Every structure is written in structure tokens, then in C-alpha cells.
Amino acid sequence: MSYTVAAVDCGTNSIRLLVLRRADSGEVEELIRLVRLARLGQGVDATQEFHPDALQRTFVILDEFAGIIADLGVDRTRFVATSATRDVTNREVLADGVRERLGTDLDVITGDEEARLSAAGVLSGVTSPRPTLIFDIGGGSTELVVVGEDDQVESSISLNIGAVRINERFLPTDPPTADEVAAARSFIADQLDGAGVDFSAIASAIGVAGTVTSVAADHLGLTEYSREAVHRTTLSRETIREANHRWLGMRAADIADDSLMPPLRASVIGAGSTILDEIAQRVPSGEVIVSETDILDGIAHQLLAES
């Protein structure tokens, strides 16, 4: 008998849906994969609360997802939330909205589980030399996971240096001033250097999420986003530095003129690419492999494994 699962990954900036169906034969088919930008983490760093506007944007997206999940006859749904949701005092407002719309609980996972699911999802679609640094630049935090032989997680840490958080805390001017950028870069560097990761031992680095895929799409000169084209693209340090420098010198509205750059990402891509640039500086090769498989895939495949 076939079995269909829906995974929802709720981050600080984006909310994503993946629906997989396992046929009687055991073959797994991807039915739909969507990403929507809600910027749920708007103002969370300063207020420790979800902003009403951010919740409204989120609930509109969840209404859309609920319709898709119903239409596809999903047997089990898991709604996973990470950085921004860990930090807020009004989490129950989101939890109630999730339960009302999707009929499932809000699952705020630990950093350890986030690392394990992220690694499983990434390694389902990318191979690279070990030790591998897998990093996920989110809106509120950046996860660093080191994977050794046999796909075992050797270490993981979540740092408070997400694109939205850094943008709101350090880059208030549009475009940011040189002093603002220097302060942001210094803070990011301190966080990375204090993370306990031996960057000198890293044989390869794999990056996931919107900042990294945006740099890849920009580098490839895409006029229409292609997940297949972006997946497994290798970004050099020079490519990352050029994109970061260009975006930091532009107004958010001008960045958003790019049809592949949604306004809610355009406003934080300078901060996100600064985090990416600082990570690339520390990887011996200076290269980053882009992965389109990530924690969302890990969540969905775990649901299938448990069925």
C-alpha cells in the first residue's frame, strides 16, 4: 500500500514543503517541493516575540500548504521549526495556527536533531571527501555540522548569526555603511572562530539554504530558477566574495529587481552572503558545494522510514 508524507520546515525567513510518496514497489516519488518567504523572524532578535505581520504572512502560507496536503492525500505530516521559534515568548500563537491549519503539532527540534536531520538530508544528494563541513545559513542562525567517515556526525553547533538577525542587528542602513559591514563581519568572525570547529582539517564544505543557492543562481546567470542546475554547483571563494561585495553596495530594492531574488531575501542577502564569505575564508579549499537536499529531505525520509 502506498504511503504519503509531508514535511514542513519553518525557518526564520522561509517556510518549505516537501511531499513524498512511497509506492507499493518501494519506489519513492517526489510529488511537490515548495518554498515560500514569510520572514517569521521579523524583529524576533530585538523583541523575543513573533510580529503580528510575520504571523499573518506565515498563516497565509500554511493555508496554501494545507490545501496541497489535503489534495495529495497525505497520511502523515510533520511541522518542524528551528531558530526563530526557539527564541520567542509567544510560540503558542504559532502552535495554535499550525494545529488549526495542518492538524499537527508544532515540533521545535533541538540543535542536535537539527544537525542529524540536516546531515542526512544533504548526504542523500551530495557526495564529497571527509571530513565534510555541512552548513545551513538560516535567517536566525547558522548550523555547522562536521561529518566524518560512515556519515557519522562528529560535531555540531548552532550559532546566532543568521541573515535576518545579522541584518537587523548590524546593517540598518540601505545599503549598509562600511562601518556597519565591518562590525557585522567582526561579529560573524568571532562566532565562527569560537565555534570549536577545526576548519583547517575540513576536506570539503557543503552549503544549503537560500543564501547559498542565491549565490549559485547568480553565478550561473540563471534567468529562471533551476533546482537541478544549482544542485552540486561549486562556488569558489572569489565568486562568493564578488557577489557579497556587489550586494552590500546595492539598495535592497535594486537587488529585488532580479527576478530570482524575492524582496524578503533581497533585504538580507548582503548579511547572508557575508556569513557565507566568512565561512569560505576558513575552508582550506575556499570552495563550497551547493546542495538542494537538506533538512527538509531528512525530515521527509525519516517519516517514510517510520511508517
Q: Which of 21, 55, 17, 47 is nearest to 35 (CA)?
A: 17
**What pLDDT, in 10s, does the model give residues 71-125?**
999 999 999 997 668 778 999 999 999 999 999 999 998 877 887 888 889 998 8
pLDDT of residue 1: 82
**Coil, helix or strand at residue 202:** coil
Percent of the chain at pLDDT > 70 equals 99
Across residues 37-45, what is the average pLDDT?
A: 86
Query: Which strands make up the sheet holding 288-290, listed edge to edge?
Result: 153-159, 142-147, 132-137, 204-208, 288-290, 234-235
Distance CA 258, CA 229 (A): 18
Q: Which cell numbers hold the place of 5?
A: 508524507
What are the backbone angles phi and psi of residue 275, rounded to the nearest 5°?
Answer: -60, -45
Q: Which of 243, 120, 251, 152 is nearest to 233 (CA)?
A: 243
Rg (CA), the chain: 18
**What pLDDT, in 10s, does the model give residues 193-214?**
999 999 999 999 999 989 999 9
Helix, strand and coil percent figures for the chain, each rounded to 5:
45, 20, 30
**What pLDDT, in 10s, does the model give residues 112-171?**
788 788 888 999 889 899 999 999 998 888 989 999 988 888 999 989 899 999 999 999
Q: What is the pTM of this model?
A: 0.81
pLDDT of residue 83: 64
Report yes or no: 5 and 297 within 8 Å, Cβ to Cβ. no
